[in-house]
Amino acid sequence: MQDEVILIERNGRVGLVTLNRPKVMNALNDELMDRLGAALLDLDADDAIGAIVIAGSAKAFAAGADIAAMADWGYSDVYNSNFITRNWETIRRVRKPVIAAVAGLALGGGCELALACDIIVAGRSAKFGLPEIKLGLLPGAGGTQRLPRAIGKAKAMDMCLSARTLDADEADRYGLVARVVDDERLREETMRLASTIASFSAPALMALKECVNRAFEQPLSEGTLFERRELHARFAAADAREGMKAFLDKRKPVFVHR
Ligand code: CAA
């Protein structure tokens, strides 16, 4: 178990995936990314799971793509193996909410992995950065696109061009993370948040996530039209019937995730 590059646990309706390459600060090699992608798709397909948490260690969420693995690659290697797209795009296919619990370093691909999640909860030790420029590279797992959308062009350009890192408070102020908590409470608070989310209707959550993501993909008029169609569709769902009835009956709803 200790040799596994990721650890998978199920806790109630929450799936927890922990990155586990401690000797290299959870550097993201193909094996880890392939296994992470497969675990996420498994959890996504599991009716008993309503939300997913990705965590690292106390020292590092992940220090980026594995530089030792990449150092000798040439253009044909990355092009032919479809580097990045091959295993990174899987994260985008996950329909259930995914939360990153970030303590320590989230650098390069580690920061991009967190950015690909729906919510980031940061421990006070968290540090976010896209230092690829120091290697003569550039962020290639969505960083140049997701970071400006998250914190705006000025801060994103500063981080990308100067390799500056943000601490948890700055990341909070700039809107990169949703919440900051003490490191000792990070796992517990993130699991609590995930459990709350997972207690809601799974199809409503999936539709809601899709709606919010549309805000970054298309004009406002198209986005609001999409949102309205999704709202209308909720009226065909048993869970919406139950949710509204439970409110009127002054009781907790019992969702069947249908
Ligand atoms: N890839 C491979 N190995 C890494 C790594 C990475 N991204 N980051 C850290 N490691 C390894 C180190 O080589 C070291 O291994 P050894 O003990 O065998 O020497 C071990 O992890 C511990 O690291 P350090 O001794 O360097 O620890 P530190 O506390 O002094 O520094 C660090 C930690 C700031 C993370 C530093 O290791 C570092 O700068 N790492 C590289 C970060 C980086 O550049 N990330 C971007 C990668 S490129 C990318 O992600 C591109 C993309 O979009 C696809």
Per-residue pLDDT of the chain (258 residues; tens, 9 = 90+): 557 999 999 999 999 999 999 999 999 999 999 999 999 999 999 999 999 999 999 999 999 999 999 999 999 999 999 898 888 889 989 999 999 999 999 999 999 999 999 999 999 999 999 999 999 999 999 999 999 999 999 999 999 999 999 999 999 999 999 999 999 999 999 999 999 999 999 999 999 999 999 999 999 999 999 999 999 999 999 999 999 999 999 999 999 999
H or E segment at 43?
helix 30-45
Query: What is the distance in A from the centroid of ligand 1 to the CA of 105?
Result: 10
Which structure tokens are listed for 26?
A: 């959870």
* Pocket residue to mutate for ligand 1, from 23, 25, 130, most atoms within 8 A of Cβ: 25
Query: What is the distance in A from the centroid of ligand 1 to the CA of 27?
Result: 7
Query: What is the distance in A from the centroid of ligand 1 to the CA of 24?
Result: 6
Pairing of strands 105-107, 60-62: parallel
Name all residues whose Cβ lies below 6 A of ligand 1: 24-25, 27, 63-68, 105, 107-109, 112, 131-132, 135, 137, 139-141
* Cα 207 from Cα 157, distance rounded (Å): 32
Q: Residue 160 half-sphere exposure, CB side, CA atoms within 13 Å?
A: 20
Q: Which residues contact 35 (CB under 8 A, 6 or more apart)?
A: 4, 5, 6
* Pocket residue to mutate for ligand 1, from 67, 115, 138, most atoms within 8 A of Cβ: 67
Nearest in space to 97 (alpha carbons), one of 24, 15, 7, 4 = 15
- Contact (Cβ atoms closer than 8 angstroms) between residue 210 and residue 95: yes
Q: Is 65 a catalytic residue?
A: yes
Residue 117: the pLDDT is 97
Q: Is 132 a catalytic residue?
A: yes
Residue 2: the pLDDT is 57
Q: Atom 22 in ligand 1: which residue has the minimum CA distance?
A: 24
Find the catalytic residue in 37, 108, 109, 142: 109
* Pocket residue to mutate for ligand 1, from 19, 24, 167, most atoms within 8 A of Cβ: 24
ipTM value > 0.85: yes
H or E segment at 88?
helix 85-93
Residue 103: the pLDDT is 98
Q: Which atom of ligand 1 is nearest to the CA of 140?
A: 53
Find the catalytic residue in 15, 132, 202, 240: 132
